[in-house]
Amino acid sequence: MNQYGIKFEQKINLRKLAADDATAYAGDKKSGEKELLRLNEKLEKLQELLYAEHKHKVLIILQAMDTGGKDGVIRHVFEGVNPQGVRVAAFKVPTPEELDRDYLWRVHKQVPGKGELVIFNRSHYEDVLVVRLHKLVPESVWRRRFDQINRFERMLAEEGTTILKFFLHIDLDEQKKRLQARLDDPTKQWKFNPDDLKERKLWYQYLEAYEEAISRTSTSWAPWYVIPANRKWYRNLVVASIIIKKLQQLKMKYPRPAYDPKKTAIE
């Protein structure tokens, strides 16, 4: 799965990265879905260990084009984890209170505490993507944010936060299919936003913005992974595998009890 990792300042061309790639797994969709269930069980145990040890903090950042699958990853990859130690933070249009402060203020409030795994559904990266394309701030402002974000994430890492960032990569045709599926299904029409069609017209400008943002902010302490996401089952499998590998590298242990279990009798 390391094939999807991006190095710092690595030049990437998202138009040339196959969104339907599935070469990191030898099986088919059916076997991949079974494998994901096995990974779910493993992730559930690792997350429980993370919570019990109360030492490490884990931050998962999900970014994607509209319909890219952020909600699907959250639903399928983290199925079965203990909600007591897992939290999702979604970042939408900033409120007036948030606009009165620096752009990282609302983000810093949501980062994980010890023993916690937090998933960002969108993130501070909107402040070098949306604001760039819609010219909400001058270029001189959003461009300096790359270095600010790197320093912010490095501070979090130095304070014990493990950071993994995933860009869920779909292509233009796949987005069209998913948008049409929402229109055709009465149970999914609530998810369709006509404004998504306006953003779709900016597809290639968004790709260019993502390419620079990912290249400028994929660091050793907060790496980016560009995940082929046309095949939902494969997307989930890759994301789960990367997260599990990183959690295993933390070498977590259950805390020792403050009492002697052998000398504790239950009447």
Looking at residue 266, its pLDDT comes to 84
Residue type, 137: V
Looking at residue 145, its pLDDT comes to 98
The CATH number covering residue 136 comes to: 3.40.50.300
Looking at residue 124, its pLDDT comes to 98
Would residue 134 count as lying in a domain? Answer: yes
What is the Cα–Cα distance from 122 to 124, expressed in whole angstroms? 7
Token pair in block for residue 255? 């805390």
pTM listed for this prediction: 0.96
Number of structural domains the chain divides into:
1
Q: What is the layout of strands, in order, in the sheet containing 57-64?
A: 5-6, 224-228, 161-169, 57-64, 117-121, 86-90
Q: From first to last of its 267 residues, what are the pLDDT tens digits of the chain?
A: 679 999 999 999 999 999 999 999 999 999 999 999 999 999 999 999 999 999 999 999 999 999 999 999 999 999 989 888 999 999 999 999 999 999 999 999 999 999 999 999 999 999 999 999 999 999 999 999 999 999 999 999 999 999 999 999 999 999 999 999 999 999 999 989 898 899 999 999 999 999 999 999 999 999 999 999 999 999 999 999 999 999 999 999 999 888 888 778 888
Largest CA distance in the chain: 71
Would residue 264 count as lying in a domain? Answer: no
Would residue 184 count as lying in a domain? Answer: yes
Residue type, 12: I
Looking at residue 265, its pLDDT comes to 82
Are the C-beta atoms of residues 239 and 77 closer than 8 Å to each other?
A: yes
Would residue 261 count as lying in a domain? Answer: no
Would residue 229 count as lying in a domain? Answer: yes
Query: For residue 23, which of 3, 53, 49, 44 has the smallest C-alpha distance?
Result: 3
Are the C-beta atoms of residues 202 and 98 closer than 8 Å to each other?
A: no
Using a 10 angstrom Cβ sphere, with 0-12 exposed, 13-18 middle and 19 or more buried, the burial of residue 62 is buried
Looking at residue 1, its pLDDT comes to 65
Token pair in block for residue 236? 């989930």
What is the Cα–Cα distance from 90 to 71, expressed in whole angstroms? 10
Would residue 101 count as lying in a domain? Answer: yes
Query: For residue 46, which of 250, 257, 234 has the smallest C-alpha distance?
Result: 250
Would residue 259 count as lying in a domain? Answer: no
Whole-angstrom CA distances from 167 to 78, 142, 206, 238 are: 17, 20, 12, 12
**Close Cβ partners of 6 (under 8 Å, ≥ 6 residues apart):** 12, 214, 215, 218, 223, 224, 225, 226
Range of the domain at 66: 2-252
Would residue 257 count as lying in a domain? Answer: no
